[in-house]
């Protein structure tokens, strides 16, 4: 009898989904409020809060870079995994195409995030 | 019993069209799954911001300027509602996705898990706001 020893890659994607879901549940609403509403309108926070020197200094710190990396990348993986399964729920079974879209875009986004953060820190 | 392979009849498959609109439980399910679209859209906004930041001050200022457009404000208000709903449902589903948590030999109740999650979100949100307010205002 042949036993299929190939490991499933599902837990990896599920873990990324869970981590992104947790992070977006914890800080998502406040992040959206700060960057998308409060600062652009000068509501409660100064319009200058996200000025170039401030954000550059934040990104140059390891904790700042790690935070931004985690937020952008995990949000993408969370959304991709959830949308992939919702497509299935909606009766859209495009298989490889849906997988390429839902997991390929987060992968590309991850690479762009790394590229942007590295070039901000070192160039 | 054998079924002729080449019979021209196709098996009946029930349509999945609109199944989720037939029951309020399913409607809620699709709405909370749908919040993922807004999580992705917001992540894209931030990703564009990071790329613009790497291109220098002029590019960053243009990104900030774009965030002030009425369209962007409307988008972020809708996204705020959607992601807040994600937070709410995430911590309400959490008791069913976590392994049992034992405290002094007693299992932590579902309500306590949900409350802890929502409290953690509230505390982190306040810390985040105070940091931006205190450091950069």
- A2: closest CA of chain B, how far (Å): 31
Give domain B21-136's CATH architecture.
Answer: Up-down Bundle (1.20)
Write out the residue range of the structural domain in which residue A108 sits.
Answer: 12-122
Give domain status of residue A4, yes or no.
Answer: no
Q: B130 CA to chain A: closest CA distance, Å?
A: 10
Burial bucket for residue A61 (CB in 10 Å: 0-12, 13-18, 19+): exposed
As a whole number of angstroms, the distance between CA A39 and CA B79 comes to 16
Distance CA B124, CA B25 (A): 30
Q: Does A70 touch chain B (CB under 8 A)?
A: no
Count of the separate structural domains present in chain A: 1
Which pLDDT band holds residue A88 (cuts at 50, 70, 90)? Answer: confident
B84 reaches A (C-beta below 8 A): yes
Measured distance CA(A84)–CA(A92) in Å, rounded = 9
Instruction: Decide if A59 is inside a domain.
Output: yes
Q: Averaged over A21-26, what is the pLDDT?
A: 98
Quickly list DSSP for chain B: ----TT-SPPPP----TTGGGG-HHHHHHHHHHHHHHHHHHHHHHHHHHHHHHHT-HHHHHHHHHHHTSHHHHHHHHHHHHHHHHHHHHHHHHHHHHSPP-EETTEEPPHHHHHHHHHHHHHHHHHHHHHHHHHHH-
User: Given the structure tokens 């590309």, which residue do they identify?
Assistant: A108
- ipTM given for this complex: 0.92
Quote the pLDDT of residue A64. Answer: 95
Which chain B residues in 4-33 lie under 8 Å from chain A, judged by CB atoms? 15-17, 19-20, 30, 33
Domain residues of chain B, as ranges? 21-136
In-domain check, residue A7: no
Instruction: Give the pLDDT band of residue A5 (cuts 50, 70, 90).
Output: low
A3 part of a folded domain: no
CATH number for the domain including A67? 1.20.1300.10
Per-residue pLDDT at B6 exceeds 70: no
Question: Using an 8 Å Cβ cutoff, are A78 and B38 in contact?
Answer: no
Residue A1, domain member (yes or no): no
The pair of three-digit structure tokens given for residue B25, joined into one six-digit string: 């439980």
Nearest by CB to A25, which of B20, B79, B91?
B91
pLDDT-based confidence at residue B5 (cuts at 50, 70, 90): low
């Amino acid at each position: 009898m042949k036993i299929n020893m190939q490991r499933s890659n599902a837990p990896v994607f599920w873990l990324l989904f869970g981590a992104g879901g947790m992070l977006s549940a914890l800080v998502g609403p406040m992040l959206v409020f700060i960057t998308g509403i409060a600062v652009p309108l000068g509501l409660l926070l100064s319009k200058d809060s996200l000025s170039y020197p401030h954000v550059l200094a934040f990104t140059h710190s390891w904790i700042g870079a790690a935070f931004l990396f985690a937020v952008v990348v995990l949000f993408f993986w969370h959304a991709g995994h959830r949308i992939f399964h919702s497509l299935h729920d909606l009766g859209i079974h495009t298989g490889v195409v849906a997988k390429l879209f839902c997991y390929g875009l987060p992968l590309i986004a991850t690479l762009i995030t790394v590229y942007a953060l590295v070039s901000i820190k070192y160039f | 019993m054998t079924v002729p392979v080449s019979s021209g009849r196709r098996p009946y498959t029930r349509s999945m069209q609109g199944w989720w609109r037939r029951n309020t439980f399913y409607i809620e399910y699709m709405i909370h799954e749908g919040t993922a679209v807004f999580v992705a859209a917001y992540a894209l906004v931030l990703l564009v911001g990071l790329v613009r930041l790497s291109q220098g001050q002029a590019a960053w200022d243009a990104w900030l300027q774009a965030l002030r457009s009425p369209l962007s404000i409307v988008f972020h208000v809708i996204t705020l509602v959607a992601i807040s709903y994600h937070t709410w449902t995430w911590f309400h589903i959490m008791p069913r996705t976590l392994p049992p948590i034992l405290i002094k030999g007693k299992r932590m109740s579902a309500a306590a898990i949900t409350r802890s999650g929502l409290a953690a979100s509230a505390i982190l949100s306040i810390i985040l706001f105070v940091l931006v307010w205190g450091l950069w205002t």
